[in-house]
A = this chain, B = another copy of it.
């Protein structure tokens, strides 16, 4: 039962949000503890895999008892960094940008949207639930002033790389990229892609089989 964690592989990291989601549901249902067997059945994973996964980051289980849901949830919350606030901006105030801006859940998990940016003068100065849309030329100064760490990129793919470069120069350390293109960024900058085309094409492949 080490306090410090083993290396958590990317495969495990990608499952952490799912654990978090199921643990939250269990709390809502008022459950206090759960075994790897039960949780596995709920989530469609093997009990063995769950024990391996959870053991990567410390001994939150207890032989003969299982896992305390509250404790485990808190541990994952800390790992995921959703126990503290993050400052975000959205660049590109089209439908997708607006959809993200309107998604309350992110705010509740500590992702604070400070502003939106767009190049279209018709959108500039508009308000989205109290969030102002600025012209992109204001972006660099804004990022520096508010120490923004997460940039959410919702511009057309033609402009994605240049906006990403500007964000990074200004001090952003992670980009949530919705543009269907692979950004080139310096080492240490985190990119998380959401590529809707790739997702839809995968669905289409499976439909075709």
CB distance from A122 to the nearest CB of B (A): 16
- Give complex CA distance A204, B111 in Å: 9
**Number of A residues with CB within 8 Å of any CB on chain B:** 50
- Give complex CA distance A42, B112 in Å: 35
- CB pair A198 B18 closer than 8 Å: yes
Q: Contact check: which of B105, B150, B192, B205 meets A202 at CB < 8 Å?
A: B192
A98 contacts the other chain (Cβ, under 8 Å)? yes
- CB pair A205 B13 closer than 8 Å: yes
Closest partner residue, chain B, to A102 (CB atom): B95
A126 contacts the other chain (Cβ, under 8 Å)? no
A94 contact set on B, CB distance < 8 A: 99, 102
Closest partner residue, chain B, to A206 (CB atom): B190
Mark A1-13 against chain B: 1 for CB-CB distance below 8 A, else 0. Answer: 0000000000001
CB distance from A133 to the nearest CB of B (A): 14
A206 contact set on B, CB distance < 8 A: 13, 174, 190, 192
Q: Which of A's residues lie within 8 Å of B, judged by CB?
A: 13-14, 16-18, 20-21, 43-44, 79-82, 86, 94-96, 98-100, 102-103, 105-106, 109, 111, 149-150, 173-174, 176, 180, 182, 190, 192, 194-208
15 residue pairs of the A-B complex, CB under 8 angstroms, read A13-B202, A17-B202, A20-B201, A21-B180, A43-B182, A79-B205, A80-B201, A82-B201, A95-B96, A109-B197, A174-B206, A190-B207, A192-B200, A192-B206, A194-B194
